[in-house]
Amino acid sequence: MGLCFAAEKTLGKLAKWLRILGFDTLYEPDLPEGLFKDFEPERILLTRRHPIRQESTGHSHVVIRSDHYWEQLLEVVRAVGITAESIRPFSRCIRCNSAIGPAAKAGLQGKVPDYIWETHDVFRVCPGCRRIYWPGSHMEHGMGRIRSLFDG
């Protein structure tokens, strides 16, 4: 298991972006707060509360200080030491956190918009929620913005 995270309920957009980068990130906004400590011990907790007593949870954690998701993402990148080489962009479902896999184009006709089916050859599907992905579907901003995380 590589780097993985569990994000507090106020950090939904940050959780989505960590999934876009390819990191296993639990985000369950309806989870009772007490369950936060029950995640796998290697999960890094992302919290806005300070301090979490590490000895009481057994987890590493990052206290997020910014109110803006992009600054929050930079905080995580710096605190944990994420490098450009360690990310796997667009390998994980942003909705349910499952690792997505290849899908045969032939089986997807009618399941994606016709113009998408006609103009794309590579599709992937989430085994968890069945969401279908194709290049460009994930992301309004693309690799340039992701690369900018690692410029500083």
Segment near Zn ion (CB under 5 A); pick from 36-44, 66-74, 117-125, 127-135? 127-135
* Helical packing angle, 12-20 and 69-80, nearest 10°: 60
Q: Among 78, 95, 111, 145, which residue sits at the site for Zn ion (rule: CB under 5 A)?
A: 95
Beta carbon of residue 131, minimum distance to Zn ion (angstroms, whole number): 5
Segment near Zn ion (CB under 5 A); pick from 42-50, 97-105, 107-115, 116-124? 97-105
Angstrom distance (rounded) from CA 24 to CA 20: 10
Position of tokens 């992937």? 124
The sheet with strand 61-63 has its strands ordered as: 24-26, 4-7, 44-47, 61-63
Question: Does residue 49 belong to the site contacting Zn ion (CB under 5 A)?
Answer: no
Segment near Zn ion (CB under 5 A); pick from 21-29, 36-44, 76-84, 125-133? 125-133
Question: Does residue 126 belong to the site contacting Zn ion (CB under 5 A)?
Answer: yes
SS3 labels along 83-102: CHHHCCCCCECCCCCCECEE
Q: Write out the residues near Zn ion by the rule CB under 5 A.
A: 93, 95-96, 98, 126, 128-129, 131
